[in-house]
């Protein structure tokens, strides 16, 4: 793998800012990614625009393996002025360099090293950092029935692959009460803020009813009232849920739906539900064992795997039954933080690993009888 060429490609992606919430910026970034992919893969992608967000997909033959990444970042336009692209002492920096533009470069260079791309699909989405609101169906459709999905999100600490990810559910709990003058006749109101306080405490205890410390149910953003002298007629709280398996996700959903109001005159409206299914260890086990074998054959250091609380688009591929291995992207750190960086010396080895994995799965799936996959 040619590190110098990879770093030139990485710079091209990083200096084209792609803040998730700016659809025009994401569209500009998609053109840069498309040009890079076309040069290295020998084919132009399909531009898929959903809800104003630009996604890219390459399909070669009958799909058997999916390589999945995203080109949007959390960094607002103008971040390059304070966090410019730099390459110093083997460390690359810049907005999105670690999460996850280096992973895109590694996809293209890994595939360029293969003699044939027959059976490969590459999907690069443009809204992962926003929860893949427009792309999740595209991801699921692209992964369904395939032999493997390889996600080049950044690695965990020390280059560990991500062999499990918690599932995510998102809720909004809204309390409706009755307004009244807080000084003249507060008793004629039904205080939604007081009821919200009861509900926040109740929600905070739900995880303990599911398992011993693996599930988290966290009240986050809350609002109440309209003025300082009015009994609040409405209040709300957002709830972030992380679960290790589908059973826990369903149990939390049942518990959220069973919440009841305690303050007379108030009522609850619970909205939302599961967003991403868990990427359970069973989904990655076979591919992780294969990765260890490929790494050994390449003379790379032994691989480690970890379970993480954060979700990725790999949750969607695993959720439709596609074996999925995540964290195959850059080695470095600082995702979403000022110290975001990539250790560039690791890029050729990670790219060779990905290339070897794709080749191995393609060979194996080609030998399987039709319908076994």
Q: Which residues are known catalytic residues?
A: 72, 128
Per the listing, tokens 């591919």 go with: 287
Partners of 313 in the β-ladder = none
Distances (CA, A) of 288 to 165, 271, 297, 365: 14, 37, 14, 16
Quote the DSSP letter at residue 226.
S
CA atoms within 13 Å, Cβ hemisphere of 202 = 17
Entry field: residues in the chain: 373
Cα 315 vs. chain centroid, distance in angstroms?
A: 8
CA distances to 72, 108, 347 from 344, rounded to whole Å, are 21, 16, 5
Nearest by Cα to 278 from 248, 298, 234, 233: 248
SS3 17: coil
| Alpha helices (H) along the chain | 3-14, 23-41, 102-112, 136-143, 192-204, 246-257, 281-298, 314-319, 347-367
> Is there a contact between 330 and 350 (Cβ–Cβ < 8 Å)?
yes
Pairing relation of β-strands 120-125 and 65-70?
Answer: parallel
Cα 15 to its chain centre, rounded Å, is 22
Rounded CA-CA distance 29/72 in Å is 8
Q: Are 129 and 335 in contact (CB under 8 A)?
A: no
Distance between CA 142 and CA 144 in Å, rounded? 6
For residue 23, report the phi and psi dihedrals to the nearest 5 degrees: -65, -35
Token pair listed for 199 = 């509900």
Tokens of 186: 């507060």
Provide CB contacts within 8 A for 141, sequence distance 6+: none
């Amino acid at each position: 793998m040619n590190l110098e060429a990879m770093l030139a490609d990485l710079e091209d992606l990083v200096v084209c800012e792609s803040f998730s919430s700016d659809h025009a910026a994401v569209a500009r970034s998609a053109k840069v990614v498309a040009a890079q992919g076309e040069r290295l893969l020998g084919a132009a992608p399909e531009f898929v625009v959903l809800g104003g967000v630009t996604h890219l997909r390459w399909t070669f033959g009958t799909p058997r393996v999916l390589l999945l990444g995203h080109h949007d970042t959390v960094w607002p336009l103008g971040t390059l002025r304070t966090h410019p692209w730099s390459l110093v002492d083997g460390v690359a920096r810049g907005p999105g360099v670690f999460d996850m533009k280096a992973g895109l470069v590694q996809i293209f260079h890994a595939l360029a090293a293969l003699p044939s791309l027959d059976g490969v699909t590459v999907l690069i989405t443009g809204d992962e950092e926003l929860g893949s609101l427009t792309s999740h169906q595209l991801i699921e459709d692209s992964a369904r029935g395939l032999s493997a999905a390889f996600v080049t999100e950044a690695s965990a600490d020390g280059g560990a692959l991500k062999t499990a990810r918690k599932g995510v559910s998102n809720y909004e709990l809204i309390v409706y009460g009755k307004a009244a003058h807080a000084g003249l006749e507060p008793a004629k109101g039904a205080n939604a803020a007081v009821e919200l306080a009861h509900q926040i405490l109740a929600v905070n205890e739900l995880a303990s009813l599911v398992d011993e410390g693996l599930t988290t149910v966290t009240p986050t953003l809350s609002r109440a009232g309209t003025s300082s002298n009015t009994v609040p007629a409405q209040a709300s709280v957002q709830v972030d849920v992380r679960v290790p398996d589908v059973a826990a996700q369903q149990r939390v959903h049942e518990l959220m739906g069973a919440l009841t109001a305690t303050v007379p005159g108030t009522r609850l409206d619970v909205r939302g539900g599961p967003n991403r299914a868990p990427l359970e260890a069973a989904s990655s086990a076979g591919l992780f064992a294969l990765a260890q074998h490929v790494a050994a054959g390449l003379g790379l250091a032994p691989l480690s795997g970890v379970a993480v609380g954060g979700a990725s688009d790999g949750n969607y591929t695993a959720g439709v039954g596609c074996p999925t291995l995540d964290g195959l992207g850059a080695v470095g750190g600082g995702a979403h933080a000022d110290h975001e960086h990539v250790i560039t010396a690791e890029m050729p080895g990670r790219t060779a690993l990905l290339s070897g994995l794709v080749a191995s799965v393609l060979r194996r799936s080609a030998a399987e009888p039709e319908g076994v996959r």
